[in-house]
Structures are given as structure tokens and as C-alpha cells.
Amino acid sequence: MGRNHLFLASIVFFVALMPGCASMRGPVDKPASTALSPATDTPSARYIQSELEKHPSDISGFRLLSLSTNALLSRITLADHAEKSIDLQYYIFKNDATGRLVAQHLLIAADRGVRVRLLLDDLNLEEQRSMLDAFDSHPNIEVRLFNPFKTREPSIPSKIVQVMLEASRLNRRMHNKSFIVDNKIAVIGGRNIGDDYFDASVDTNFRDLDLVAIGPVVIDASRSFDDYWNSDAAFPVSAYPGSDNKHEDLKQQRLSLAKDARRFAESDYAEAAFNELPDGATADRRGQWFWGKAILVADAPEKVEGEKPSESLVLVPTLDSMISASKSDLLLMSPYFIPSDSNVEHLAALSKRGVSVNILTNSLAATDELAVYAKYAPHRKPLLEAGVNIFELRPAPGSGIPQSHPGQSSGVSLHAKAFVIDGRFTYVGSMNLDPRSKLLNTEMGLVVDNEGLAKAVKAFFDTAVLPANSYRLLLSTDAKPGKQRLLWSTTNKGVETLMDDEPDTTAGQRLKMRLMKLLPVDGLL
């Protein structure tokens, strides 16, 4: 046996000895299931149908969820009003205060006969596993994991070894986010389930966008969910030994979730959230909808197999062609922005032909991914030289996209993935403008043709790029073209300040970022 084979054999032996590493069973019972027919005889369904009947059959309705508290309470309310089914697909579903609140309402729905299907990416699951096992024992709840590790509770060393052995598979993740109720109404966008996505974290909170959707596009979302649910990459949690006979655990989860929900209802966050509710675009009551033709853009689940990328990369070609068609203005928001050289040339060409191109991403002080910022940094000068406007979000509390007071967080970070073209076409979804989203992860989102919605997303952007909330990048005027220094412009107490280093960062942070520029990790980001 050669040295390579000995090395691989030793790794497999090492994995087998790790605690908590019960391997996935062989043949797995995984019956196919599909979305139930849309509800028709519930109060919510009748209201939605009455709204849809005012418009042509190919038109869908939308509400923008920009307030984090409304984004949480809309999901809670939808779960409470569900009569037939709830289908959830998420990259992250945390076992924290808001995650457990959502979980409790899913359990309550299942208790009254609603079928719940929960599909989660396996990468970030840790302390959630016991809750998921317990939920799966409920006759009306089924939980599946997408592209899972081969051991049930892999330790960090185990994850590292498994990634080494199966890098081409495990490096590809399901980044989709959708919450579909009764096959009649859906929430699709950038938010995962967890405190930092709903302004309930005491640390950094994310600023994000979701769309509540009704109409034919919801049926498309359900079809996409079914494709993932029934794909070869989705495995039931029962595929692991030790996940059987969890009925006693479910009883304990009921008690624990109810206790946590009571505690949450008494919190300052809950009071602030409910106080804001009447003014927000929630999903359960009459109010303004944005109406327009829309398409659901979603990668095929086979993208994680990496064998037929051209056939599974559905989202990127669609969005690229729309961006190329920009005529007057283009707004891009992405927390992780790593354009390729061809992307830079493309955006520069748009700017040179008169399109106003504006980009919002995270500053070094606001990002949660230092390596991503390092790989974005070299592209700033070429874009600025071509006339593209770049803004970087400041991390300060109160950065106005919008509110940060309920969780009393110490900072904010951009998490919204959206663009607006010519004040008419809007994309809101899960895809970052980086190589990982384009080539490795599966992504989804909605493209809507409606000027009112475009205006609402632009208002979110315009608030974010105010001097109090972001830095505007400029080139110095004291050198020849190509030799200018980067400057960060901001306003403090009405006075403009120019800085020539990444603001609100330490010398150590900047050094780490510059060292990361040298690492050959572009294909992993």
C-alpha cells in the first residue's frame, strides 16, 4: 500500500474513533413528497384570493420586509394562520431565542394537523440536532438535512477531515431561504432564522431584506422546494443511528419551548416589536401590495454535485443578462462582493455608457468575513476609476437600515442581497456577488417588475448610504490617474472627514486583511 493510501486509511481510522461520530446508515427510507394543493377555504386564503382576482392571472403581489422585527413576526403570524402545510428551507436555523420561538410556532401548527417539512443545510447544525430529532418524531413534522456530513454530530476535527476527504461535495452548500405556507404565501429573501437576523442579538445584527409573495410565483417556489426535498442530496435526520424513539424528547422540547416563548414575550425586544407592528408591512392583514410580473430564480439542487454546472447554474445567467440590459441606473447590495475581472470590466462598461452604477457592501469594520473583504479590496480602484460609486456600511449602532434598538446591539452588518435596475426591476434573494454564490452554493431569489417595489428597495439603499451610515470611497486628486490613493469619506456632525485607511479598524485588522490578499483561496470564498 502506497503512502497516499496509508494516509487516507489513517484519516478514515481517525474519523471512526472520534466521539459522537455515529455514521449514516446505508439504505435510507426517504419517501418522496410534494407540495399540497393551495389552501382555498381558510380566512387567509380567501383574503389572498380576493386580492389576486383584482389582477391578471400571471401577476403576483409582494410586500417588502425591511424591518427585522416585522420579518420575524410575519413568519410567526404565517405559521399561526397555516391550515394545511408549512415548508421551510434554510441555510441556518439557530437554536437561540428567535429560532426557538419560530420552532415553537411550527410545533403548535403541527399539533393542529398542519404538515411541516423542514429542510436545512447541514454545515451549521450543532446544538439544534436534539431539537430536530425530537421534531422529526412528530407525526406531522419531517426534517431533512441537505448535503450532510456522514456523521451525526461531527466535531470540528471530524468536519475538517470529512471536508478533506470530500471537498468537492462538502464545500458546496444550500444557501436558499424560503418559508412557504399553505402553498399560498411565501417569504423569500436573505434572512436566515436566528437572533442576529431579527435584531435580537446583543452583538452585531444584520440588515436584510425579504419579500412576502402571493400569486403564481408561490407555486414556483413550492416546485423548487420539492426539487430540493426529493433530491439525492437531502437526507432525513432518521438516517443517523441514535435519532429513533424521540417521543420523550419531544415532550421535553414542548415544555422548554413554551418556557422560552413566555420569557421572550416578556422581553423588551417583544414589546418594541409589537409596538412597531401596526406600521409595518406584515403578511397577515390587509394593506398595500406591490403587483407585477415576477420570476423565481433558483439554482438546481444538482449544483452541489458539481458535475453539470452549466445546467444547474440557473440564477447567475438570468441576473447577469438583466444587469447587462441596464439603461439608466443600477443599484447593487451585497455583503460579500468579490467581482471577477470580467465583472469589473462589465460594470465599468455600463458606467462608461452612462449608466449610474452604485454598489453597497460592508466595510472592513462591519464585515464578518475578513478574507472576503481582502479579495474584494483590489477591485475598488478600477471600479472607481471607471466612475462606479462604492459605499461601505459603517458598523456603528443605529446605522439606519433600519432599526437597531430592540436588541440593543453593539453594531450592524449588511446582509441584504438585492439589486434595482432602472427604477423598475428588483431582485431580492440569497445570492451574494462572490464566487462561492455563483459557482458553489445553491441560491434563490425573486425578480419583480414593479416601480413601487423598486422605489422601496432604493429607499433602503439611500438610507444605508447616507454619510451617517456608510463611507463613500473616493480617489485622491493629488496624483496622476492610476496613482491615486483610496479615500473614505464620511460626515461627523456635518463636517466631512477623509481617511486614507479603512476606518474604525486597528492596524492589526488591516495587516491581517492585507496578508489575506496573498492567500490562494479565491475559489473558496
417 is catalytic: yes
Given 133, 182, 210, 504, the catalytic residue: 182
**Distance (Å, whole) CA 24 – CA 243:** 11
177 is catalytic: yes
Q: Name the nearest CA neighbour of 498 among 506, 487, 512.
A: 487
> What are 251's three cell numbers?
415532550
Given 94, 105, 138, 175, the catalytic residue: 175
**Distance (Å, whole) CA 403 – CA 386:** 34
504 is catalytic: no
Cα end-to-end span (Å), the chain:
36
Contact 382, 414 (CB under 8 A): no
- Backbone dihedral angles phi then psi of residue 362, each to the nearest 5 degrees: -85, 145
Given 84, 94, 177, 381, the catalytic residue: 177
What is the full DSSP assignment across 314-371?
-HHHHHHHHHHT--SEEEEE-SSB---HHHHHHHHHHHHTT-EEEEEEE-TTT-S-HH
**Distance (Å, whole) CA 491 – CA 107:** 48
Residue with cell 413576526: 73
**Distance (Å, whole) CA 272 – CA 99:** 18
User: Around Cβ 209, how many Cβ atoms within 10 Å?
Assistant: 23
Cβ contacts of 313 within 8 Å, gap of 6 or more? 299, 303, 438, 439
Contact 105, 79 (CB under 8 A): yes
How, if at all, do strands 411-414 and 204-207 pair?
parallel
Given 417, 434, 438, 504, the catalytic residue: 417
Given 415, 434, 438, 504, the catalytic residue: 415
501 is catalytic: no
Please give the C-alpha separations between residue 290 and each of 284, 308, 425, in angstroms, as whole numbers: 15, 37, 12
**Distance (Å, whole) CA 398 – CA 134:** 39
**Distance (Å, whole) CA 509 – CA 366:** 12
Element (H, E) at 427: strand 425-429
**Distance (Å, whole) CA 260 – CA 248:** 19
29 is catalytic: no
Contact 185, 212 (CB under 8 A): yes
Element (H, E) at 472: strand 470-475
220 is catalytic: no
Given 80, 422, 449, 462, the catalytic residue: 422
Q: Name the nearest CA neighbour of 391 among 329, 333, 473, 459.
A: 473
- Backbone dihedral angles phi then psi of residue 478, each to the nearest 5 degrees: -100, 20
Residue with cell 386580492: 51
Query: Catalytic site residues?
Result: 175, 177, 182, 415, 417, 422
